Amino acid sequence: MKTAERLRRIKPSPSTAAAQRVRELKSQGLTILDLTVGEPDFDTSDHVKAAAIKAIEAGETKYTPVNGTSALRAAIVGKLRERHGLEFTDAQITVGGGAKQVIFLALMATLDEGDEVIVPAPYWVSYPDMVRANDGTPVIVDCPEAEGFKLMPERLGAAITEHTRWVVLNTPGNPTGSAYTVAELQALAQVLLAHPHVGVLTDEIYDEIWYGYEDAPSLAAVEPRLADRVFLTNGVSKTYAMTGWRIGYGVGPADLVTAINTLQSQTSSCPSSVSQAAAAAALTGPQDFVRDTVRVYRARRDATVKLVNDVPGLSCTVPDGGFYLLVNCQEAIGKLTPDGHRIENDEDFARHLLDSGQVAVIHGSAYGAPGYFRISFATSTDVLTEACERIATACAALKSAAAP
């Protein structure tokens, strides 16, 4: 079957590819320690499951409104009011099959050929390909580790052209764990106020997996003058360990939301009715699950950051949120493996960890971060400890290449 041109512009997600490779190696009987996983290792709470079962039994098994059930939309409005003091009308909210789908539809609804989307790197793998799939051009802006992997106002200003439609701000970020402070958001807002044609797509999916004292700030709340062009996306996947339920949402300008709803009405019709009942229960019910899991993530984060920084040649900074570490492995590049292969780049390094240490990680280039690799700490401390030992052994086995 001939496929469309747009398919030639994109590739499958590298995390899905890594998961496939891990499954293959496991099926060969190898004990792989998998640090590639992009989802919580906790189960969905019982009260959330109970709400889904109740919805099934009550016959909530039909199509829902395209933009989601009123109960779920009300729960989303409540969360954003409570957390950020933001007010949204019903016409400003849409619910979709995961934040991923909502972001995809927002791009589909707004991009024409030649339109540019500023994507700060390191980035979540899907942004550039989602832009390309929708005829846009990703404009990748490097945000080095020395700048906290964050977009600095000067770099934003320099990247904006008359073709810019969006800038993507993922905070806290995947794969870096970096989050923008209120002051940093204000500084970016100053630049954006001077360019009224640029929209901001904020991806706040890790907002609750957050290690700061005050809540993670949101651009829409920090600068109300941007309210008519911020599209805030979020979901229940990470916070409530509900990745398989596929519920995400977007809030922002009503005309954009209407356009997304039109696309949704012609694609999925609506998100799953049962999953929406579960998501509403997650958002409005007891929040102990969030507090308890964040406590666990924090302990794992602190332990793993220390273990990684104890490995000669590796280093990482302490993430503000999320459950990933972006580890600098630049010192390993150019070295030789025990069987004489030269580590040319981070992809070779990740392969070395898998082949010699049976530890699966994702190479940084997949996220626009060459010279790095991503560890997910959404796994047990035992696995993390053992994995870091194996990583240390694999690093120690590398030899400097002999001088020519």
CB of 248 to ligand PMP, least distance (A): 4
Q: Among 170, 176, 328, 379, which residue interacts with ligand PMP (rule: CB under 6 A)?
A: 170
Whose tokens are 């846009």? That residue is 136
Q: Among 18, 77, 95, 99, which residue interacts with ligand PMP (rule: CB under 6 A)?
A: 99
Angle between helices 273-284 and 70-84 (to 10 degrees): 30
CB of 359 to ligand PMP, least distance (A): 20
Structure tokens at 366: 């997949």
Taking Cα atoms as reference points, which of 261, 252, 248, 251 lies closest to residue 65?
A: 261
| Binding of residue 208 to ligand PMP (CB under 6 A) | no
Whose tokens are 């799939």? That residue is 133
Q: Among 203, 207, 208, 320, which residue interacts with ligand PMP (rule: CB under 6 A)?
A: 203
Structure tokens at 264: 């949704």
Contact 173, 94 (CB under 8 A): no
Residue number, 307 or 316, with CB nearest to ligand PMP = 316
Residue number, 51 or 205, with CB nearest to ligand PMP = 205
| Binding of residue 98 to ligand PMP (CB under 6 A) | yes
Considering only 92-100, 221-229, 307-315, 332-340, which stretch makes contact with ligand PMP by CB under 6 A?
92-100
Q: Which residue is nearest to ligand PMP (CB)?
A: 98
| Binding of residue 319 to ligand PMP (CB under 6 A) | no
| Binding of residue 207 to ligand PMP (CB under 6 A) | no
| Binding of residue 100 to ligand PMP (CB under 6 A) | yes
Residue number, 124 or 180, with CB nearest to ligand PMP = 124
Give the CA-trace dihedral at 382, 383, 384, 388, to 10 degrees. Answer: 110
CB of 403 to ligand PMP, least distance (A): 43
CB of 37 to ligand PMP, least distance (A): 10
What does the alpha-carbon distance between residue 334 and residue 401 come to, in Å, rounded to a whole number?
7
| Binding of residue 40 to ligand PMP (CB under 6 A) | no
| Binding of residue 235 to ligand PMP (CB under 6 A) | yes
Taking Cα atoms as reference points, which of 88, 114, 107, 89 lies closest to residue 259?
A: 107
Residue number, 98 or 199, with CB nearest to ligand PMP = 98
Q: Find the binding residues for ligand PMP in span 172-201 (CB under 6 A).
A: 174
CB of 300 to ligand PMP, least distance (A): 17
Site string for ligand PMP, 109-148 (x = CB under 6 A): ---------------x------------------------
Backbone angles phi and psi of 205, in degrees to 5? -65, -25
Question: How would DSSP label each residue in 79-112?
Answer: HHHHHH-----GGGEEEESSHHHHHHHHHHHH--
Tell me the torsion sign for CA atoms 87, 89, 94, 95.
Answer: positive
Distances (CA, A) of 371 to 152, 268, 310, 366: 21, 39, 18, 11
| Binding of residue 243 to ligand PMP (CB under 6 A) | yes
| Binding of residue 38 to ligand PMP (CB under 6 A) | yes
Question: How would DSSP label each residue in 158-177?
Answer: HH--TTEEEEEEESS-TTT-
CA angle 288, 71, 80 (to 5 degrees): 60
Residues 6 or more apart whose CB falls under 8 angstroms from that of 327 comprise: 308, 314, 315, 316, 361, 372, 373, 374, 375
Distances (CA, A) of 82 to 40, 73, 221, 241, 284: 24, 14, 12, 21, 11
Distances (CA, A) of 324 to 130, 149, 386: 22, 13, 17
Whose tokens are 């007891």? That residue is 286
CB of 78 to ligand PMP, least distance (A): 19
Considering only 45-53, 95-103, 366-374, 385-393, which stretch makes contact with ligand PMP by CB under 6 A?
95-103
Considering only 16-24, 98-106, 186-194, 283-291, which stretch makes contact with ligand PMP by CB under 6 A?
98-106
CB of 32 to ligand PMP, least distance (A): 20
Considering only 4-12, 93-101, 189-197, 262-270, which stretch makes contact with ligand PMP by CB under 6 A?
93-101
Residue number, 138 or 235, with CB nearest to ligand PMP = 235
Residue number, 88 or 104, with CB nearest to ligand PMP = 104
Q: Classify residue 10 by its DSSP letter.
A: -
Residues that bind ligand PMP (CB under 6 A): 38, 98-100, 124, 170, 174, 203, 205, 235, 237, 243, 248
